[in-house]
Amino acid sequence: MRLTKFGHACVRLEKDGGVLVLDPGVFSEADALDGADAVLITHEHADHFEEARLRAAAEANPALVIWTNGAVADQLTGLGEGRVRRVGHGDAFTAAGFDVEVHGEWHAEIHPEIPRIGNVGFAVDGEVFHPGDALTVPEREIGTLLLPVHAPWSKTAEVVDYARAVGASRAFALHDVLLSEVGLGLVQNFVGMFAKETDYRRLAPGESVDLG
């Protein structure tokens, strides 16, 4: 499996000719969806889901299938029978040749006065976990955690504790567009100090890594 990081919360997974893209939002590059066979969307916030871009990709590729929660699916009507599939916690399915499990139900609390929305995390091939905007600990062993390192709903201590709770052997930075180089370095130091069992690093947008 090859993993390529795009801007902010978007990653692309490739295996045996299949291409799976997760959370191509407004901060990810325009070519993130090029050649995608399937797309997974964790929730409705614009940094994870850009409706116009996703509709354009679906129109360009009649075989493209989108898997997401109910709130996002409700915004993607009219794409055709079976092209938008609703999933929730505990579901399992195959997309673009990858085995996918759904973990979690809710977005992390941003502020007590802001209503919480739905959020689903995706475990792909039992190897990669994309939590979306939540600190969901998947109900299975995970090799590679996509770690949301900065958000209005988190603090660095919670990020570190989350990495430790998941216990993945490696983690790559996710949800990082709002951090400066100084901030990224701070996260690197904290995760390195307190989650020593996890090999953590940040991939630059466009950088790829092969997962064994």
Q: Is there a contact between 148 and 9 (Cβ–Cβ < 8 Å)? A: yes
For the stretch 124-133, pLDDT in tens is: 999 999 999 9
Domain that holds residue 153: 2-210
Residue 76 to residue 24: CA distance in whole angstroms: 15
The answer, yes or no, to whether residue 212 has pLDDT greater than 80, is no
The closest alpha carbon to 84, from 70, 104, 100, 96, belongs to 70
Confidence of residue 75 (pLDDT cuts 50, 70, 90): very high
Rounded to the nearest 10 degrees, what angle do helices 181-194 and 156-166 cross at?
A: 40
Q: What is the pTM of this model?
A: 0.96
Q: How many domains does the chain have?
A: 1
Residue 49 to residue 33: CA distance in whole angstroms: 12
What percentage of residues in the chain have a pLDDT greater than 70?
100
The answer, yes or no, to whether residue 123 has pLDDT greater than 90, is yes
CATH number of the structural domain spanning residue 175? 3.60.15.10
Amino acid (1-letter code) at residue 72: V
